[in-house]
Amino acid sequence: MSVAVIVVVDDDPSSRYLMQTLLKAAGHEVLTAEDGVEALEVARYNAPDLIITDILMPRMDGYQLCREWRADPTLSTLPFVFYTANYAEDDDEKFALSLGADRFLRKPMKPSELIEEIEVLLHESRGTVPAQRPVKEDETRVLKEYNARLVHKLEDQLTELHEINDVLTDMVNGTVRAIAKLTEARDPYTSGHQERVAAIAVAIAARLGHDAKFREGIRIAGLLHDIGKMYVPAEFLTKPRRLTEAEFAIIRMHPQVAHDVLTGIRFPWPVAEFVVQHHERLDGSGYPAGLKGDAITLGGRILAVADVIEAMSSHRPYKTAVGVAAALDEIEGGAGTLYDPDVAAAAIALFEEDKFEIPPASAEPAFASYSK
Ligand SMILES: [Fe+2]
């Protein structure tokens, strides 16, 4: 075995390092490159004995590198080896060999077998038989096939990403619903409240012309806006009489509690901020921070209006429902002082012009049988 200079091409540093270590241990000199472009530069400057490359890499992939290699008179006779995990089907091998590659090796291989393949190739190329495998195919056909393969692989990867995205979205939705139901399980009288607030808030956002992405953020914030009530003793929430000031003081902590729980979750929207502001009022009379005007986010202002409408339309243990009409009167009366005037106008138009109806909760509350 004599020392050879081998170029190792891989965009993954750990794969590159592994291969380098292996070849050095076998007594060879190793040059490394992160992609096809760098590999060509390194090879043209150093006159190596062999190249071993990954396929999927930025800037120039392994297929293109092979074509350039075989087209370069200074490199074309040197052994070219693919070593790949992503492109390991038989068709990939056929295509790789049609470009002039000497070997198509699939990851992972036993180190001893990998070294043996390389030694055989080095031996062959130093013998009488040149390693050159000129591209015989018609240039246009090869290019077409090459592009088709790339598109196919990208489509596969895109499909896979869509599938992963769907699973993650389902997981987030399932988790959000589970947390919402946990809150409502402690407070059966407000069962479905968060779901209905979410539906009203989304409809207001749509009426205001906001896009689907924003509406999704509002929907999630609506579904979670009262989770801080987990902190409030259940008897305060279900008490069929007026609460004392001390009891109200504890209830008023629920937006901050919800915020502190949600702030650790990296939503693509400021959900924790929307939620903590759902009892803030335009004139600063709300809680927990007494924020005024624009200091309250649009999400917070929409949730505030949706929450009031839903709460006034539904029965509570300490008050009877007054209905949607009275709720809209309250919103109209408070527009510009308590509630954002645009949000208030959109909410009123929603019910009066669009004939919006508050949807019933989609399912029975979780743990209904335990909630007595
Ligand atoms: Fe609330």
Distance 229 CA to ligand 1 centre (A): 8
Q: Are residues 204 and 272 in the same domain?
A: yes
pTM of the model: 0.63
Residue 289 lies in a domain: yes
Same domain, 103 and 183: no
Calculate how far, in angstroms, residue 252's C-alpha sits from the geometric centre of ligand 1: 8
Tell which wins on pLDDT, 167 or 236: 167
| CATH number of the domain that residue 177 is part of | 1.10.3210.10
132 and 203 assigned to the same domain? no
* Cα-to-centroid distance, 237 and ligand 1 (Å): 11
What is the CATH number for 130?
3.40.50.2300
Same domain (yes/no): 120, 247: no
Choose from 80-94, 207-221, 358-372 the range with maximum mean pLDDT. Answer: 207-221
* Arithmetic mean of pLDDT, 232-246: 78
Which of 56-65, 110-119, 281-290, 315-324 has the largest mean confidence? 281-290
Place 292 in a pLDDT band, splitting at 50, 70 and 90.
very high
**What is the CA(216)–ligand 1 centre distance, in A?**
19
Per-residue pLDDT tens digits for 246-261: 888 998 999 999 999 9
Within a domain: residue 64?
yes
My answer on whether 309 and 238 are in the same domain is yes
Distance 80 CA to ligand 1 centre (A): 67
- Evaluate whether residue 141 is within a structural domain: no
Q: What is the rounded CA–CA span in Å between residue 333 and residue 317?
A: 25
Specify whether 220 is located in the same domain as 271.
yes
d(CA 201, CA 143) in angstroms, rounded, equals 53
- The residue from 144, 153, 213, 229 that is catalytic is 229
Residue 162 domain-assigned (yes or no): no
What is the chain's mean pLDDT, rounded? Answer: 86
For the chain, the domain total comes to: 2
* Residue 60 within any structural domain of the chain: yes
How many A from CA of 352 to the centre of ligand 1? 25
Same domain, 124 and 188: no
More confident call, 365 vs 269: 269
- Is residue 35 assigned to a domain? yes
* pLDDT band per the 50, 70, 90 thresholds, residue 27: confident
Examine the domain organization and report whether 358 and 218 are in the same domain.
Answer: yes
196 with 122, same domain: the answer is: no
Q: Could you tell me if 203 and 310 lie in one domain?
A: yes
How far apart are the CA of 344 and the centre of ligand 1, in A?
18
Dist. CA 161 → ligand 1 center (Å): 37
Establish whether 229 is a catalytic residue.
yes
Cα(329) to centroid of ligand 1, in Å?
A: 20
pLDDT over 50 at 371, yes or no: no
| Mean pLDDT value across residues 59-84 | 92
Give the pLDDT band (50/70/90) at residue 318. Answer: low
Judge whether 216 lies within some domain: yes
Asked if residue 182 and residue 103 are part of one domain, the reply reads: no
Residues 195, 127: one domain?
A: no
Distance in Å, CA 171 to ligand 1 centroid = 25
Domain membership of residue 30 as a residue range: 5-136
**136: pLDDT strictly greater than 80:** no
Structural domain ending residue among the three candidates 136, 160, 184: 136
Tell me, what amino acid is at 223? L
Ligand 1 geometric centre to CA of 209 (Å): 25
